[in-house]
Amino acid sequence: MKKIKIGFFTGNRSEYGILSNVIKEINDIESFQLQTFVGGAHLARQHGMTIDEINDDGFEVTEKFDFLLASDTNEAMIKSMSLAMLDAFKAFQRHSPDFLIILGDRYETFAICQAAFLARIPIGHIHGGELTFGAIDDAFRHAITKMAHLHFTSTEGYRKRVIQLGEEPDRVFCVGAPAIDAINSSLISDTEELSRILDLDLNRPYYVLTYHPVTLSQDSGLLGLENLLQILRSQNTHNVVITAPNVDSSYTKIEKMIINFASENKKTRKIHSSLGRKNYYKLIANCDAVLGNSSSGLIEAPSFCVPTINIGKRQQGRVVGETVITVNEAIEDISAGFRRLSKPEFRERLRVAINPYGQGGASKEIANIMQKIDIKNMKNKHFHDITSCEDQN
């Protein structure tokens, strides 16, 4: 029997970390043939050459899309999107995937999605229905939802929002966040090996800092980062491990700030472009707090009952659990967030906190749904109107 070709696209390290278990589950199904399309930051040495992680996991790369330009301007982003769309369309013509699964809301994902849509390839979208008011990704995410034919959301509220966008309820499934499966499948152990990799004593208390551009802010969120770094300088009580920002517009400005910060004290501050998902989970599992504005502080850190100080507007609109302290960019607000970390009532809530994005199993659920759907009849979509008295179920 002819196998159904299921394609995946991944363009950066964090996205692959979330998708990896979904890819594995699909790859294990006898009736499916896996296709993996890899591009963007995965192919850039300055961003860790993270295609190596995909190869190390045993997934054969079907085709590479080398579209990332060495610039962080809006013009460069538009050129990258154009190259990505063209490369993807040609690759889809060569390899003829029957279905494409994509995740999230990034500009390169939007470009790949456009190519698949024009190539008449049904699309499955993971993590639709979410909100991030401070980032251009918010609009890309909803646009991807309208091009997608099947939807896998991380919470029931997000499922209802996808339906509110006109998607048919029987094509929208709340499965939870696949990132939690990656956590559950990773060996979370001591940090001795990680200390060696980072050349940093992780027995000393430490924070994990990830700060991405706030792409809808006039200053890209630089004020929030500047204030955070000022507070960390004044405390000098913790080591700080910094992961590189996403390749968004103005990311080089953030990169420069964190490089300068780390260079001030090389014994206690380290930057790493990519640790790999297992090492990253070891890192956050044992830290005192996750700092910055990354979605991992909201979605993954709660599974370890680790607190997050979420700064500014980049993640505004997302569901947050009791482990997350959300603050504005002002230095007094960030300082208040640090003070709250040590309050007994907050520490007690941390101990029993439940991750609002689920307890795991999303990857297997996605694979089970993929086996049940009629892929051949997925191309046609209908707009689902919601009447004023209708429940979105």
Closest alpha carbon to 358 in 130, 175, 188: 175
Distance CA 226, CA 218 (A): 15
Measured CA to CA, the distance from residue 366 to residue 269 in angstroms comes to: 39
Domain boundaries, the chain: 4-176+361-377, 189-352
Longest CA–CA span in the chain (Å) reads: 65
Question: Mind listing the pLDDT tens digit for each residue in 137-166?
Answer: 999 999 999 999 999 999 999 999 999 999
Alpha helices in 322-384 (DSSP H): 331-341, 344-352, 362-372
Q: Which helix (H) or strand (E) holds 145?
A: helix 137-147
Q: In terms of CATH, what superfamily is 189-352?
A: Glycogen Phosphorylase B; (3.40.50.2000)
pLDDT at 189: 59
Residue 185 banded pLDDT, cuts 50, 70, 90: low
Domains 4-176+361-377 and 189-352 share a fold: yes
pLDDT in tens, 276-285: 788 889 899 9
**pTM of the predicted protein model:** 0.91
End-to-end CA distance of the chain: 36
* pLDDT greater than 60 at residue 346: yes
Question: Which residue would you say has higher pLDDT here, 176 or 193?
Answer: 176
Query: In terms of Cα–Cα distance, which of 293, 334, 308, 297 is closest to 133?
Result: 293
Q: How far apart are the C-alpha atoms of 232 and 251, rounded to whole Å?
A: 21
Which CATH number applies to 4-176+361-377? 3.40.50.2000
Tens digit of pLDDT for each residue in 67-108? Answer: 998 788 889 999 999 999 999 999 999 999 999 999 999 999
